[in-house]
Structure 1
């Protein structure tokens, strides 16, 4: 292989590493709104991160109380999308969901220019394919050891791209490309998530998952090693819960129930909590006055940080 080809191969491998989503835990739970404990008697840090997002909450912690309240007042105007002077549950719910999706949007923005080669603010399948697999395509995958794997990756990417491309024009707008990179976040991509999971685990390709394939996806026993208790528990879960029709296998529907369980809507719960704690006249909606009167529940500042530090110091004594 020439030096030029070697460099091209290394560069392309780096692009593929970025482009192909990393193996994730099989069960796709939406993350909670914060890693903090939700205990308002101790601190409002959970509420701050839920309302602002983790990174933005940190910036508010550096502000004075006056600066923090001023910024909060401007945020309230943004949340009140119908401009009727009230923040409804729906508006607050949508705002919290939007803030929590920022990490996904930032990930898409980070890679967008890598694929949007003609700078038309859209990504065609050909743009994505050529950027990710271009060198391999020119060489018909002959220069790589695991040719079959990379061919299957290309097929899988194309199928996922077509599922994300809802209008079927072969071009992904930003929301469609977001669904391509993060299919677990979109209801219309759930079939793709299940299909890809089935393909990963179903090693013999018979269209169903046996108990050995199920365990083998999580654990490989070494010679002379006894099976850990957690593996035996997983075997029991397979037989008693996962395999609901008791035929000894998991079909696509049973895999979907396993990896896409019913979700708690954390954003909805937090919106209800903030309204309950702040709605002084109990009309189930918030005015800017009500929110600013309880500003430290929504946002932090140097003052609220100081109060939290005092609480921590007291607890540590």
Structure 2
């Protein structure tokens, strides 16, 4: 199931119009290909966003059939780098990885000017802190309703910032700021990724995750609702594979094994999955015709634009 959950910006901060970047409660070792769970039994929205990208997927949903075909043809032409009329696994894998990188770069670009107040090409912790939390710092958040949450957010931000700041000078270079915003992309940030994950799910504060906390983070039943089959599957995952020492809890090491499972290449897996689902003649490569035949499927994938692809000639590979 999807490990990432958006941490909603609190209304009080938004009201003061601070340029707070979208925070994520949980992070992956690699950028998530989609905000959807990858569960084909409930549709193909994950693949749609993987092929098209999150923003482009929304655009596709609003196009006429003819407009969708025309746009898909332009995208396929760009994926087909050797121009032989076929999309291979290598080309598709490269494309999805490219969209991941582009999404991260654009996200960092979007926030950089908001925080580099003195325009010196670096962002200090003070610049970030003052821009994000502003005058609330003067009265230690006494003016906000949920004081404890704000203090927790500040502590968490400072810890992540200091971890990303490899030379410890209190100032983030562009690479360090990227590690701050996207810690899942940097191996040296893995400990803070695991720590944040445990803190998010560990409701009783004992430093580890029990089965109820694990399930409760993914599923909250409504009155009278029957537990879905996938929840039962997750219970099995917890006891059979996640809890490796069988003590009934997930400790930091087990959480690391769960959310940072080695060098899993999600783009490679998604490329293989998309070819499997759309390769009608099973020759291991895709034609535009095959993709058009599976238009409804593609209109639910990450290929087409991870984070907002433009097929107008300005978004170069």
The normalised TM-score by structure 1 is: 0.61
- SS class of match (2:23): coil
Unmatched 5+ stretches in structure 1: 1-6, 34-48, 74-88, 271-296, 298-303
- Give the alignment partner of residue 61 of structure 1, picking from 74, 77, 80: 74
Residues 129-154 of structure 1: CA deviation (Å, up to 9, x unaligned): 00001121022201111000000000
Measured on the aligned residues, the alpha-carbon RMSD in Å equals 4.4
Q: After superposition, where does 1:106-145 map in structure 2 within 5 Å?
A: 106-145=106-145
Judged with a 3 Å threshold, the aligned counterparts in structure 2 of structure 1 residues 31 and 145 are, in CA distance, closer, same or farther, namely closer
What is the distance in 1 between the residues matched to 2:210 and 2:172?
36
Shift of 1:32: 6.0
Q: After superposition, where does 1:1-317 map in structure 2 within 5 Å?
A: 10-12=14-16, 14-15=17-18, 18-23=20-25, 28=29, 30-31=31-32, 61=74, 100-262=100-262, 263-264=264-265, 266=267
What is the distance in 2 between the residues matched to 1:15 and 1:205?
31
Judged with a 3 Å threshold, the aligned counterparts in structure 2 of structure 1 residues 237 and 267 are, in CA distance, closer, same or farther, namely closer
Shift of 1:264: 2.4
- Work out whether residues 30 and 266 of structure 2, in 8 Å CA contact, stay in contact via their aligned partners in 1: no
What is the distance in 2 between the residues matched to 1:229 and 1:96?
30
Judged with a 3 Å threshold, the aligned counterparts in structure 2 of structure 1 residues 10 and 258 are, in CA distance, closer, same or farther, namely closer
Judged with a 3 Å threshold, the aligned counterparts in structure 2 of structure 1 residues 117 and 60 are, in CA distance, closer, same or farther, namely farther
Judged with a 3 Å threshold, the aligned counterparts in structure 2 of structure 1 residues 177 and 212 are, in CA distance, closer, same or farther, namely same
Aligned residues: 238
- Work out whether residues 164 and 189 of structure 1, in 8 Å CA contact, stay in contact via their aligned partners in 2: yes
- SS class of match (1:162): helix
- Work out whether residues 208 and 252 of structure 1, in 8 Å CA contact, stay in contact via their aligned partners in 2: yes
- Work out whether residues 12 and 144 of structure 2, in 8 Å CA contact, stay in contact via their aligned partners in 1: no
- Work out whether residues 124 and 172 of structure 1, in 8 Å CA contact, stay in contact via their aligned partners in 2: yes
Shift of 1:127: 0.1
Greater mean alpha carbon deviation, residues 138-147 or residues 215-224 = 215-224
- Work out whether residues 27 and 258 of structure 1, in 8 Å CA contact, stay in contact via their aligned partners in 2: no
Shift of 1:231: 1.8
